Every structure is written in structure tokens, then in C-alpha cells.
């Protein structure tokens, strides 16, 4: 199918920033499951160019300003054709050894309880079936509940709490997979809701390395492998490393962030993109001080 996306993130600085630096992973890359037909990223109305593949094979760019800024309005929008590969991404071009994704981070360090859950899955069922069982176990252990956790919540904390959101499901799955020597990584991107309603935030899921297949996407939050309703942006060891936007600001005081995502299946005529713009509150770029 073809997916139309408009992702707007607005940063407001309490006092004008003297320096702003942002790492952007907002440009999807072509892979076995998707082909980018049209995509653009802008900040404060100016196009962001210079996206290039990083070591993981994802598109990445840096945006740095030294003049005073009242804020930053980031817009990523475009059209991507997706294919249902039953979650199989295969072996995308990368300069990173898969064993790198056995490394634990503070967000994905497995607790004894997570290890026990992983060890309870049946190894003799085969690696793919075992990972399916692990994904189901994570879904059963963590009830989806918004507001129960935050961006800094670790896999161990979410598992002990028994509640969380897509980030927590993915990071617990990753922690568990690594504890049984399966390379696993966090993926950020977008998901088209089953009823076609607009999504208001990015989505997160996991990929695990399966012998003979390569990387396979698992989404414990929805109890499925990745389908053509998913649009992949970037991967990393955890949610922080795979985040679409990360930055640093000098002399900014407090920072407020407002993010909104609109995603729809494209139809002939192109009216959906205009509808996305009308539904999403368009915030004009802040003027430089």
C-alpha cells in the first residue's frame, strides 16, 4: 500500500537559544519492505538537506544553528510504498556487526525476571517460533497503559510494573532476546491504525536476527510481526538511540515540545495530503531573534 505521513514537532524555548544542534532520523530509507516515493524534511520552513546513511543503514542528518532561536518547527512528510513481507526485513546494507545488538544499555538491561521469561520459551521449537513465543510472553506480561511509564523507564522497571506502552514492550522484548543470545534492536517509525484513524505519535517495535531470514520485525504491543501498515525510520540499541529527533540547546531555559503525526493510506487524487494539513494544527516557524 501507499502511506502518506505528516509528522510535525514543535520546540519552544523559554528564552532564545544561542545554539541549537539536532540529530534527525526523520528520512525513511528504501528496504525490502518499503520504497520512498516522495519525502521532505524542513525546520522553520527551510529544507533540511544532507541526509546520508549512517552505520546502521538509516538516513541521518545534523542541523546546527548558532544564531538566536525562539524555537524550532520540524516537519517531515511524504509518500512511501510499503509491502507486507511478514516482518522479514532480511539483510539491509550496514557497517555494523550483528553482534553489536547483543549489547545491553541502561534502558535494555535484563532483570532476572526478564531472563526467566526468556528461558521459559522453548528452544527446540526453532529460533523463529521461539521469538514469536517471546513476543507473546511480553504482551501477556505488560498491559498496554498510557501514562504508566516515561521515556526514561527501563525494561526492568516496566516489566516489574506490568504496564507500559510500545517503547516498553519493545525494550523488554529486546532485553529478553539478548539474554538468550539473540541480537535484537529497537525500531522507530509509524503505524497506520487498523481503522484508518490518524496516529498522533511515532511508534516503536523490535527487530531480532533469525538465522536464514535475517532481521525480522516483532511488535509485541499489537501481537504481530510487522506488516505493510508499518513505516520504518531508524534502529538502535534502544529507544533513545533510535529516536527520530535528538538535540542539544544552549541558553534555552525550559523547553516545551508538541508533536503530532498524521498517517493515512493514499488514494488516487492526492486529497489526503491536503486533509492531513487541515486536520493538523499548522504552527508557523518561529522567527529568529
- Give the residue extent of every domain in the chain: 2-82+244-279, 88-236
| Domain 88-236 in CATH 1.10.3720.10 | no
Reading phi first (left if > 0) and then psi (alpha if -120 to 50, else beta), residue 168 is in alpha
CATH T-level assignment (fold) for domain 2-82+244-279: Immunoglobulin-like (2.60.40)
Distance CA 121, CA 131 (A): 8
Q: Alpha-carbon distance 269 to 139, whole Å? A: 39
pLDDT by residue, tens only, the chain of 289 residues:
999 999 999 998 877 777 889 999 999 999 999 999 999 999 999 999 999 999 999 999 999 988 888 889 999 999 999 999 999 999 998 999 999 999 999 999 999 999 999 999 998 889 999 999 999 999 999 999 999 999 999 999 999 999 999 999 999 999 999 999 999 999 999 999 866 555 567 999 999 999 999 999 999 999 999 999 999 999 999 999 999 999 888 876 788 889 999 999 997 445 555 555 555 555 555 554 4
Q: Which three cell numbers stand for residue 84?
A: 507486507
pTM exceeding the 0.85 threshold for the entire prediction: yes
Residues paired with residue 259 on neighbouring β-strands, in sequence order? 9
Amino acid at each position: 500500500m501507499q502511506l502518506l505521513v505528516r509528522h510535525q514537532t514543535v520546540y519552544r524555548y523559554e528564552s532564545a537559544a544561542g545554539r541549537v544542534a539536532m540529530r534527525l532520523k526523520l528520512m525513511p530509507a528504501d528496504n525490502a519492505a518499503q520504497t520512498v516515493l516522495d519525502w521532505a524534511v524542513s525546520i522553520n520552513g527551510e529544507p533540511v538537506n544532507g541526509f546520508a546513511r549512517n552505520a546502521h543503514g538509516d538516513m541521518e542528518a545534523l542541523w546546527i544553528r548558532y544564531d538566536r532561536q525562539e524555537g524550532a518547527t520540524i516537519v517531515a512528510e511524504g509518500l512511501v510504498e510499503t509491502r507486507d513481507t511478514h516482518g522479514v526485513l532480511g539483510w539491509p546494507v550496514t557497517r555494523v556487526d550483528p553482534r553489536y545488538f547483543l549489547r545491553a544499555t541502561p534502558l535494555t538491561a535484563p532483570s532476572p525476571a526478564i531472563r526467566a521469561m526468556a528461558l521459559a520459551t522453548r528452544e527446540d521449537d526453532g529460533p523463529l517460533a521461539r521469538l514469536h513465543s517471546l513476543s507473546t510472553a511480553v504482551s501477556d506480561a505488560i498491559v498496554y497503559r498510557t501514562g504508566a511509564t516515561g521515556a526514561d523507564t527501563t525494561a526492568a522497571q516496566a516489566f516489574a510494573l506490568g504496564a507500559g506502552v510500545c517503547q516498553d514492550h519493545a525494550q523488554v522484548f529486546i532485553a529478553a532476546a539478548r539474554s538468550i543470545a539473540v541480537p535484537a534492536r529497537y525500531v522507530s517509525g509509524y503505524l497506520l491504525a487498523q481503522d484508518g484513524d490518524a496516529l498522533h505519535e511515532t511508534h516503536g517495535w523490535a527487530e531480532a536476527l533469525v538465522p536464514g531470514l535475517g532481521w525480522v520485525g516483532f511488535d509485541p504491543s499489537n501481537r504481530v510481526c510487522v506488516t505493510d501498515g508499518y513505516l520504518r525510520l531508524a534502529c538502535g540499541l534502544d529507544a533513545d538511540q533510535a529516536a527520530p529527533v535528538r538535540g542539544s540547546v544552549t541558553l534555552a531555559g525550559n523547553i516545551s515540545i508538541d508533536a503530532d503525526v498524521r498517517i493515512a493510506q493514499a488514494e488516487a487524487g492526492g486529497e489526503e495530503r491536503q486533509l492531513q494539513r487541515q486536520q493538523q494544527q499548522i504552527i508557523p516557524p518561529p522567527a529568529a531573534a
